[in-house]
Amino acid sequence: MENYWKRLKAHPVAYNLTLIVLTMLALALVAHFAMQAGTRHGARRTVPDFAGIPLDEAQRLARSHDLELQVNDSLFVPAYEGGIVLDQLPAGGVEVKPGRTVYVTINSFRQKSVPVPYVAGRSLRQAKNMLEIAGLEIEELIYRPDMATNYVLEEYCDGRPVLETSRIEAEIGSGVTLYVGVAEGSGTTPVPMVTGYGLRQAKSRLWELGINVGRVTFDEGINLLNQKQTRVYRQSPSAEQSIALGQRVDLWLTLDTKKVSEQRAAAEKEAARTARERAEREQNVADSLALLRFEQATGSAAEETSSAEDGDEGFFD
């Protein structure tokens, strides 16, 4: 080996090139081992199941497994104590690298309260939007005879009247009762298509058209944590049927996207057929009214002509 280096030194260019190659190899090896040490390549940790554990206990458990815990959301579920972990990502049992952050959803200690906006005197659509922006819902729409349709006459929250000077607060998600006007002859509305919608969007669409939300049924396996991912796959009455203002529409929801797609396609066909039938009925009613008005007009004209002839005969007599 010594003779080899002596012969190599006798050729400066080859010698320098060899030194450069060896230096690069050494640096590559150093970088490789440093990266292995820094990322702890090959080291794995099993994520514990934090569900149902108080947050402080969950944090101690995470540290003992060389993991970080971070709260990224909270819900208010009355059935659980405040501070309890409800959900986590990654789920328990998953293998991750040491130092990985696990994101958890905890149960709030109490639901947040918000001011109830005064919406009397506004259109139903405006009132609905104001309540939704505040984080509230419509508990019930009650219709009363009035000069105009779908304008809010009175507003109640938890049995108390909401006035312009009121300073009433309610928990987020609470419902407000609205008394709404309906003019004579304007008491019906077609049911909108809400199949395929999330629950919040479906409710909003129904309220906007003056329809109350009826019974809400969830498929098995759905809870407060995954309700946001559910979609309506059935509604009754179905879309495009004509119902009275204030009537209720029942909803069924699922997490099964295939079921939603299939039911949506079938509902669209049924809605198209119902819409055609309703249009035909309305046209028949319009034609009947037009014919009745025509007959009344011709009858009145005939009576006037007869009266005029009787008058002329009397004049000549």
**What's the confidence (pLDDT) of residue 313?**
56
**What's the confidence (pLDDT) of residue 18?**
76
Q: What is the CATH number of domain 45-107?
A: 3.30.10.20
The residue whose two tokens read 């918000």 is 114
Residues 171-214 have pLDDT tens digits of 988 999 999 999 998 999 999 999 999 999 999 999 999 999 99
**Axis-axis angle for helices 199-208, 124-133 (nearest 10):** 150
Domains of the chain, residue spans: 45-107, 111-186, 189-298
* Residue 137 pLDDT class (50, 70, 90 cuts): very high
Q: What is the CATH number of domain 111-186?
A: 3.30.10.20
Mean pLDDT of the chain: 87
* Residue 161 pLDDT class (50, 70, 90 cuts): very high
Asked whether the domain spanning 189-298 has the same topology as the one spanning 111-186, the reply is yes
**What's the confidence (pLDDT) of residue 306?**
63
Mean pLDDT of 281-290: 80
Mean pLDDT of 144-162: 96
**What's the confidence (pLDDT) of residue 301?**
62
**What's the confidence (pLDDT) of residue 111?**
81
Of residues 163 and 302, more confidence is placed in: 163
Of residues 193 and 316, more confidence is placed in: 193
**What's the confidence (pLDDT) of residue 252?**
98
State yes or no: pLDDT of 315 exceeds 60.
no
Mean pLDDT of 297-309: 65
**What's the confidence (pLDDT) of residue 305?**
63
User: 182: which residues sit within 8 A by CB, 6+ positions away?
Assistant: 143, 144, 145, 146, 149, 150, 245
Residues 228-283 have pLDDT tens digits of 899 999 999 999 999 999 999 999 999 999 999 999 999 999 999 988 887 887 78
Residues 78-106 have pLDDT tens digits of 777 889 999 999 999 899 989 899 999 99
State yes or no: pLDDT of 295 exceeds 60.
yes
Residues 35-48 have pLDDT tens digits of 665 555 557 889 99
CATH topology of domain 189-298: Trypsin Inhibitor V; Chain A (3.30.10)
State yes or no: pLDDT of 139 exceeds 90.
yes
